[in-house]
Amino acid sequence: MKNTETQLTKRALAPVMRAMAIGEVEKYPKSQYRSISVTASNLTIEEGKKFSKRTIDNIIEVKRIA
């Protein structure tokens, strides 16, 4: 695993995603895809925040869209 991926893994998903502004993009390792999906779904249901995900190599870009 690359150093960048290790650093990304250590960040908590929910607080970072909850604090994202519309249009903001965060990057996570591909290994966290399932956790990202669950967190995004929960935030959509609980707080009305919507996210899109895009996979580029071993990185997942998460963008807040609403």
pLDDT per position as a tens digit, 21-35: 999 999 999 999 999
Q: CA-CA distance, 28 to 62, in Å (whole number)? A: 8
At 12 the pLDDT is 85
CA 17 to chain centre: 6
- Residue 42, burial from CB neighbour count under 10 angstroms (0-12, 13-18, 19+): middle
Which residue is associated with the tokens 């609403």? Answer: 66
Q: What is the pTM of this model?
A: 0.84
